[in-house]
Structure 1
Amino acid sequence: MSISRTELLQAFDGLLQPERFKDYGPNGLQVEGKAEVTRIVSGVTASLALIDAAIAAGADAVFVHHGLFWRGQDGRVTGWMKQRLQRLLGHDINLFAYHLPLDAHPQWGNNAQLGRVLGFSADAQFGEQALGCIGAAAFSGVPALAEHVSQLLGRPATWVAPDGPAQRPVRRVAWCTGGAQGYFESAIAAGADVFITGEISEPQAHLARESGVGFIAAGHHATERYGAPAVAAQVAAQFGLEHQFIEIPNPA
Structure 2
Amino acid sequence: MKRIISTLSAAALLLGVAATAWAHFGMVIPNKPMLAQGDKAVDLTISFSHPMEMVGMDMVKPKNFAVYVDGKPQDLLGSLTETKVMDHKAWKASYAVKKPGVYIFAVEPQPYPEPAEDNYIIHYTKTVVAAFGDEDGWDADLGLKAEIVPLTRPFGNYAGNVFQGVVKFKGKPVPNCDVEVEMYNKDGKYEAPTEYMVTQVVKTDQNGVFTYACPKAGWWGFAALNADEEKINGKEVEVGAVLWIYMHDFKTKK
TM over 0.5: no
Larger CA Rg, structure 1 vs 2: 1
Which is helix-richer, 1 or 2? 1
TM-score, normalization by structure 1: 0.27
TM-score, normalization by structure 2: 0.27
